[in-house]
Amino acid sequence: MGVRFTGWGIAVPERIVTNDELSQTLDTSDEWITERTGIRQRHVGGSAMSLGITAGLEAVKDAGLELSDIDFLVVATTTPDRLCPATAPMIANGMGLTCPAMDVNAACSGFMYAVRTAYGLLETGNKKILVIGTENLSRWVDWTDRNMAVLLGDGAGAAVLEYDPDGSDLLSFYLGADGSAADLLTCEHGGFFEMNGREVFRRAVRVVVDSAEKAMASAGITSSDLSLMIPHQANIRIIQAAAQRLDIDMDKAVITLDRYGNTSSSSIPLAFYDARSNGRIKPGEFALMTGFGAGMTWASAVVRWSR
Ligand code: COA
């Protein structure tokens, strides 16, 4: 059975918050944030629903489909607008979709978990699935806390996945979760994001490397076969450390965190979109998508683009 990525869309709020702007109210600096994270600015605003609607509509149009063609909507979000209902039905309603719709929360691995979920749905009879990663992280940031405020941003990215009996863009997956690390990165009800940054960093590199190696082995390739690495955009140093251990040249890594910060489950589709806009997605080439996040969760996939 095969799955094709046939359409993509993104949305980011207009308001840009630069490191210099943050430095006016926090004990931090553009120099520190840029050196330690690679982030220079982030987009802030909107809601998980509004950003998701915009990205989703673009992806369906990009796939050349009608809204009525979509069989299922899977929304990955760490920051649902409400505890209940899920964000997916509200996005579906805003887009004009009438198909089943549900949320997946796997934090920053959310998009890859949602793609994995869509794959399973396509295996069992659905034909066209819209997957959206959408985040309004700024709502859950304590803007007086320099540990978190410098890292996160808002945005959404969407992809249409279609069943194809004749071949697949998705060659392999490797997903994992370790709830014993749950307290390393949390947001309690009514609270804000809090994190043990150093420990998250250490574990992130480990799980990205491990899951990427397993996904590549399962696809029957090695890192030298890759043309592109599309990593979750949390910290440039995490990406560099993982790329080095995987023997992937940093020229192959897509980097968008300088402009968007960490947008959690939106970061991989935002990065894909950026790569495609820059002519870096080429048919027949292998790419590694890899993410990690609170939970902790992690997910890697090997893809070979057909368009
Ligand atoms: N601005 C200025 N200084 C800061 C700062 C900020 N925003 N945040 C921390 N500091 C200070 C610390 O207080 C510390 O000062 P000290 O040496 O006087 O004690 C110093 O900078 C170094 O802190 P440290 O926590 O060791 O920095 P770091 O190099 O580990 O970078 C993170 C901090 C959060 C950027 C980094 O640990 C990280 O990215 N972790 C992973 C986070 C992540 O990926 N989260 C999302 C998961 S999906």
Name 244's Cβ contacts closer than 8 Å, sequence gap at least 6: none
Contact call for residues 48 and 266 (beta carbons, < 8 A): no
The ligand 1 atom at the shortest distance from the C-alpha of residue 234 is 44
Name 264's Cβ contacts closer than 8 Å, sequence gap at least 6: 77, 78, 79, 107, 108, 110, 133, 135, 137, 152, 293
Tokens of 138: 């700024």
- Overall residue count recorded for the chain in this entry: 307
Query: For ligand 1, is residue 204 a contact (CB within 6 Å)?
Result: yes
Contact call for residues 4 and 306 (beta carbons, < 8 A): yes
Which one of 27, 34, 36 would you pick to mutate in the ligand 1 pocket, going by the greatest count of ligand atoms within 8 A of its CB? 36
Q: Could you list the mean pLDDT of each consecutive 10-residue stretch along the chain, which spans 307 residues? A: 95 98 98 98 98 98 98 98 98 98 98 98 96 98 97 98 96 98 97 97 98 98 98 98 98 98 98 97 96 98 94
Beta-strand ranges (E) seen in the chain are 2-11, 16-18, 41-43, 72-76, 101-104, 128-135, 155-164, 170-177, 185-187, 193-195, 226-231, 286-293, 297-304
* Cα 94 to middle of ligand 1, angstroms: 39
Structural domains for the chain: 3-163 (3.40.47.10), 170-304 (3.40.47.10)
Take atom 12 of ligand 1 and give the residue whose Cα is closest.
147
- Measured distance between the N- and C-terminal CA atoms of the chain, rounded to whole angstroms: 18
Take atom 22 of ligand 1 and give the residue whose Cα is closest.
36
Q: Nearest 5°: phi and psi at 115? A: -65, -40
Strand 16-18 versus strand 2-11 pairing type: unpaired
The ligand 1 atom at the shortest distance from the C-alpha of residue 37 is 35
Query: For ligand 1, is residue 150 a contact (CB within 6 Å)?
Result: yes
Take atom 46 of ligand 1 and give the residue whose Cα is closest.
234
* Among 35, 99, 27, 40, residue whose Cα is nearest residue 69: 99
Largest distance between two CA atoms of the chain:
56
Name 260's Cβ contacts closer than 8 Å, sequence gap at least 6: 12, 42, 43, 153, 155, 233, 267, 270
Query: For ligand 1, is residue 108 a contact (CB within 6 Å)?
Result: yes
Tokens of 265: 């489950």
Q: Which residue has the tokens 């979509």?
A: 70
Take atom 36 of ligand 1 and give the residue whose Cα is closest.
197
Catalytic status, residue 232: yes
pLDDT score, position 307: 83
* Among 137, 154, 131, residue whose Cα is nearest residue 79: 137
The residue annotated as part of the active site, out of 19, 43, 108, 136, is: 108
DSSP structure class, residue 133: E
pTM of the model: 0.97
Q: How many other C-beta atoms lie within 10 A of the C-beta of residue 142? A: 13
Catalytic status, residue 262: yes
Take atom 8 of ligand 1 and give the residue whose Cα is closest.
147
Sheet containing 2-11: order of strands: 2-11, 155-164, 128-135, 72-76, 101-104
Query: Given 3-state DSSP classes, what are the helix, strand and coil percentages for the chain, each rounded to the nearest 5?
Result: 40, 25, 30
Name 255's Cβ contacts closer than 8 Å, sequence gap at least 6: 38, 233, 236, 239, 271
